[in-house]
Amino acid sequence: MKKRILGQGLEVSELGLGCMGLTFGYGTATDEKTGVELIRKAYDLGITFFDTAEAYSKGGNETLLGKAVKPFREKVVLATKFGFKNGDPTQGLDSSPKRIRQVVENSLQYLQTDYIDLLYQHRFDPNVPIEDVAGTIKDLINEGKVKHWGLSEAGFDTIRTAHSEQPITALQSEYSMFYREPEKEIIPLLEELGIGFVPFSPLGKGFLTGAIDENTKFKDNDFRNTVPRFSEENRKANQALVELVKQIAKQKQATPAQVALSWLLSQKPFIAPIPGTTKIHRLEENIGSTSVELISNDLQQIETALKEIEIVGDRYSGNYKNFVNK
């Protein structure tokens, strides 16, 4: 698999693996054996960029990832995150220097490693100046515990201020055909500052695979049940986008998921999406996107069609809306 460079010289596979869904967010957690097999299969297929967080099962996700990559730890890039009280999003935000340091020590233990390749602030904390966060990260980098740092879902001013204090390697935020807000201000800013972009939910939380429609029933503990964009009514309204992706996929003899990921990879050379999955055949399908070539005419056709499609429904509900830094 080809490599891409994020921000301050961090080399990653052009496609990463988001590990959240293995233990958190989409219903019953994957058993350890299956999770380890999937992560190691991803590595065998060329993925060297793995994403986790303290908040995904309060360290359980990091523990799974650490065990899986232990045989080849030095050959991969591990990204994790801090930012919530006690590692629990329901308890609110905490990016205090003391908490950051505690999370790093915990993550090093869970991941069975001496350093974190890429450490993100999971969400902006209005109670802690971003300068203090950046200063703490700078100290951790000088101590060798962290190699690079980044922000997640951060706003324009926060990114610029943080970068001036300690150069940022990557921003991780939602971005896909299903959510294009970053194109307005954020992506131009990242390009200006030389910061990499790591889109999460690059398949629109599964919507762009074509496997979800208004009749789909999610498991009771699947977080999509609480997402306005995934209400039955909105899923029906947003099917026009899925039909577009399916049409392009048919032309390219590819799957909708592969087209959606190839489209993202085509946007900028500093973009490295991190689709997640719990199934090896989906992993192989996603990786196949790196061989799908969308030429300029294809991209223009998609762009023209996207302008005619209005996406309906908010992407977050309740307290999670408060965790997005505009």
Residues 197-231 pLDDT 10s: 999 999 988 889 888 878 888 888 777 888 888 88
277: nearest Cα among 54, 11, 51, 48: 51
Answer whether residue 321 shows pLDDT above 60.
no
Contacts of 296 (CB under 8 A, 6+ apart): none
Contact between 165 and 135 (Cβ < 8 Å): yes
- Output the pTM of the full model: 0.94
Helices (DSSP H) in the chain: which residue ranges?
32-44, 60-69, 97-110, 130-142, 156-165, 186-193, 232-237, 239-252, 256-267, 280-287, 296-306
Question: Domain ranges in the chain?
Answer: 3-323
Neighbouring CB atoms inside 10 A of 45's CB total 17
What does the pLDDT look like over 115-156, one tens digit per residue?
Answer: 999 999 999 999 999 999 999 999 999 999 999 999 999 999
- Strands 3-6 and 10-13 turn out to be antiparallel
Fold of the domain built from segment(s) 3-323: TIM Barrel (3.20.20)
| Burial annotation 287-322 (CB, 10 A radius, 16+ → b, else e) | bbbbebebeeebeebbeebeeeeebeeebbbeebee
295, two tokens: 């030429």
For the question of residue 56 being annotated catalytic, the response is yes
23, two tokens: 């233990």
- Considering the candidates 26, 43, 56, 179, report the single residue annotated as catalytic: 56
In the DSSP assignment, the letter for residue 30 is P
- How many whole angstroms separate alpha carbon 91 and alpha carbon 83? 11
| pLDDT classification of 112: cutoffs 50, 70, 90 | very high
- For the chain, the residue count is 326
